[in-house]
Structure 1
């Protein structure tokens, strides 16, 4: 599939009303953003010219220019004088340290970011989960599937496991605040540290690729981690998959 064939021309019916015409640029911006997310235009690639995009969508160049300006303001595109418009090479340096916090990583990177709970359920601990959390096999755990984002771009998708009944209300707090740290604090865990992180590269399955908005043919970084409370008791076991072309993982040894 070529880049241009992945985009949808606007029909004459779509162009028929003043209100619709005024929203052309928003629809075009949305289609281009989706094409970027799907990898039709990978990071660093130059987009077709304004003239080519105008012909593709059946609109004038002013409309295309407005769409591109909107995407540039969102950090998805950058314009190079005399060269063209390129997909921004979005990348975030995330630190895996003794105290790893998504919010702090975003602040240090100068980005707006959030955690979003996709779903939650109670499960029975597998042997691996039980070992990591030091609980009996088949113990009851809370499982949260979480998407971490920065500037609207998915950075990682994770499955996080917490012992029950200790963290019975954690789901509600994380949904409300977008913060695992706030969820722990609500359960009288005022501080916690990373016991270990294991990083491997792998190809994502369809679910992980869909959440990261990338193709299954692009590798991801898988991080297996355990967090403990101040007494050294494990409180979280997590598997997280990071978009390999958007994230650099730095392991800090200074804490």
Structure 2
């Protein structure tokens, strides 16, 4: 992105931040590498240094860069290795990487099971479900936005429990389910939509990895089905045998 490409429709600092993020994603700035100085960035984009500082602060908040006093700003080794196995737990994976996991309830609704959801959860069509929308982050950096459906009969007040415990594993434990496993995982790629871009702090048009899954109890009974959208620039999926 050059000065000519900047549009008045979006704040200048955001455009500079998005341009640098794209350069990082494209490999023009490598993990561990040093970014150009503020003056050079300002000249490249035709903005002042205050705008550059705001852009770099936003990139730091996204977990993409780190500032070292007296040395400059460096690209972080940003992708989190995210193992996919029959026992996949977001909090455990993030903790294992030395980062702090966090779950945040965005919204929750009660709805009737469609044919597809009823089939996945082995319920009757029209059975009451909870749909829980949640944002998951590592060290404050948004990693994924997920939609989870589960039975409102088997898991009454599940949204309230998730709001308090901020973990689906802890929600299931609250209802006496100490362990569960992944029955199926389907991964596709897409472009982030406006709602997810805002929550994940991604520029418009950035890629997301869409993970659709079904989790079951030890006896094979379906517990929940989910559709999570991961910021592709922040994770790499690793297929591991159990």
Q: Give the TM-score, by structure 2 length.
A: 0.78
Which range moves more in the overlay, 223-232 or 72-81?
A: 72-81
Q: For residues 107-134 of structure 1, what are the alpha-carbon distances to aligned partners after superposition, in whole Å with 9 as ceiling and x for unaligned? A: 1111111111100010111211111101
Q: CA deviation at 1:79?
A: 6.0
Is residue 100 of structure 2 the alignment partner of residue 117 of structure 1?
Answer: no
Question: CA–CA distance in 2 between the matches of 1:197 and 1:58?
Answer: 45
Question: CA–CA distance in 2 between the matches of 1:58 and 1:187?
Answer: 52
Is residue 166 of structure 2 the alignment partner of residue 178 of structure 1?
Answer: yes
Q: For residues 41-84 of structure 1, what are the alpha-carbon distances to aligned partners after superposition, in whole Å with 9 as ceiling and x for unaligned? A: 2136464523455981469xxxx6xx979987995424699995
Question: CA–CA distance in 1 between the matches of 2:127 and 2:58?
Answer: 50
Is 2:185–2:213's contact at 8 Å kept on the other side of the alignment? yes
> Match of 2:48?
56
Question: CA–CA distance in 2 between the matches of 1:217 and 1:70?
Answer: 18
Is residue 235 of structure 2 the alignment partner of residue 247 of structure 1?
Answer: yes
Distance 1:83 1:171, change over 3 A: same
Is 1:144–1:159's contact at 8 Å kept on the other side of the alignment? yes
Q: CA deviation at 1:88?
A: 2.4
Is 1:41–1:47's contact at 8 Å kept on the other side of the alignment? no
Distance 1:151 1:2, change over 3 A: farther
Q: CA RMSD in A?
A: 3.5
Q: CA deviation at 1:40?
A: 2.9
Distance 1:2 1:58, change over 3 A: same
Distance 1:233 1:178, change over 3 A: same
Is 1:170–1:187's contact at 8 Å kept on the other side of the alignment? no
Q: For residues 149-182 of structure 1, what are the alpha-carbon distances to aligned partners after superposition, in whole Å with 9 as ceiling and x for unaligned? A: 0122111111100112111122112111211111
- What 5-or-longer segments of structure 1 have no aligned partner? 9-30
Q: CA deviation at 1:232?
A: 1.2
Q: How does 1:103-114 map to 2 (within 5 A)?
A: 103-114=91-102
Q: How does 1:1-255 map to 2 (within 5 A)?
A: 2=2, 36=17, 39-42=18-21, 43=24, 45=29, 47-51=35-39, 56-57=48-49, 76-78=64-66, 85-254=73-242
Question: CA–CA distance in 1 between the matches of 2:61 and 2:123?
Answer: 48
- What 5-or-longer segments of structure 2 have no aligned partner? none
Q: Tell me how many residue pairs correspond in the alignment.
A: 225
Question: CA–CA distance in 1 between the matches of 2:132 and 2:70?
Answer: 48
Q: Give the TM-score, by structure 1 length.
A: 0.75
